């Protein structure tokens, strides 16, 4: 794993954005895997800036998001659909038809998982997958104990994950109980992975990811087995390494 130290959250986003721009400039029809949460917000700001200042075009880019809550419709401000449009897609020239998120409001959720997995394969896989990490080592919404062999699937969210994400909702009771997420196998098939990590509270998780055993009890540990992973982390997140 290649580890790049950023001095702070802003620089982490800048370094990650530079890598995305290089990818899109080299291959305008790139397939990008995108993440949500607080960590990538700065990265998306940098991408929007590069689109405006340097005319980087996303018109031929296809995106697949890692995950989506079950039961929130697209207009719900807590849905990842809303997050992505609000914080990125509405501000760049991406073609809406080439933007993909799991539909957590689908009538048949299992069918939706199958459709999503198939769509990624039909797009010829993901060139760069952006990842964050949960405090319990989750990537996407693959909670501890998820078999490494899983493809896109429905998950019951851990209580600790619901608590960690409650800050985005009015109350914890509003946090959905389930989500659809790309599986570990789906993520591992990405050609390149960029994991971004910021802050002291993630330092222990990052240490375990890099130095701990590869185990389904700590899903992010599987990244040790991927051939092309870059971790971009700020000093606080790297403080326990
Ligand atoms: C969320 C998302 C993950 C994200 C993680 C960390 O639950 N499903 O994709 O990486 O938790 O989020 P944050 O960046 O807000 O700490």
The ipTM value here is 0.95
Would you call 138 a catalytic residue per the annotation? yes
**How far, in Å, CA of 231 to CA of 183, rounded?**
20
3-state DSSP assignment of residue 81: helix
**Of 136, 158, 185, 204, which one is the catalytic site residue?**
136
pLDDT digits (tens, 9 = 90+) for 16-42: 999 999 999 999 999 999 999 999 999
Given ligand 1 and candidates 12, 84, 133, which is best to mutate, with the most ligand atoms within 8 Å of its CB?
133
| CA 40–ligand 1 middle distance (angstroms) | 9
Q: Which of 67, 74, 73, 78 is nearest to 96 (CA)?
A: 74
Distance 134 CA to ligand 1 centre (A): 5
pTM of the predicted model as reported, rounded to 2 decimal places: 0.97
User: CB under 8 Å to 165, separation ≥6 — which residues?
Assistant: 37, 175
Per-domain residue ranges for the chain? 2-197
Dist. CA 91 → ligand 1 center (Å) = 22
pLDDT band at 100 (very low <50, low <70, confident <90, very high): very high
* CATH number for the domain whose boundaries are 2-197: 3.40.50.1360
């Amino acid at each position: 794993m290649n580890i790049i130290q950023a001095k702070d959250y802003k620089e982490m986003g800048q370094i990650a954005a530079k890598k995305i721009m290089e990818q899109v400039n080299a291959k305008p029809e790139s397939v990008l895997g995108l993440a949500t949460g607080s960590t990538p917000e700065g990265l998306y700001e940098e991408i929007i800036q590069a689109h405006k200042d340097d005319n980087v075009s996303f018109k031929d880019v296809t995106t697949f998001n890692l995950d989506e809550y079950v039961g929130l419709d697209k207009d719900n401000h807590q849905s990842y659909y809303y997050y992505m449009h609000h914080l990125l897609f509405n501000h760049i020239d991406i073609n809406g038809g080439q933007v993909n998120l799991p539909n957590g409001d689908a009538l048949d959720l299992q069918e939706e998982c199958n459709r999503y997995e198939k769509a990624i394969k039909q797009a010829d896989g993901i060139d760069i997958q952006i990842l964050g990490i949960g405090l319990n080592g989750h990537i996407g919404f693959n909670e501890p104990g998820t078999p490494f062999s899983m493809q896109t699937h429905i998950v019951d969210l851990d209580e600790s994950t619901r608590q960690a994400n409650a800050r985005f909702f009015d109350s914890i009771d509003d946090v959905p109980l389930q989500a659809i997420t790309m599986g570990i196998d789906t993520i591992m098939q990405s050609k390149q992975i960029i994991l971004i990590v910021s802050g002291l509270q993630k330092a222990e998780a990052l240490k375990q990811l890099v130095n701990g055993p590869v185990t389904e009890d700590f899903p992010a540990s599987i990244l040790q087995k991927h051939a092309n992973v870059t971790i971009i982390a700020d000093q606080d997140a790297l403080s326990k390494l």
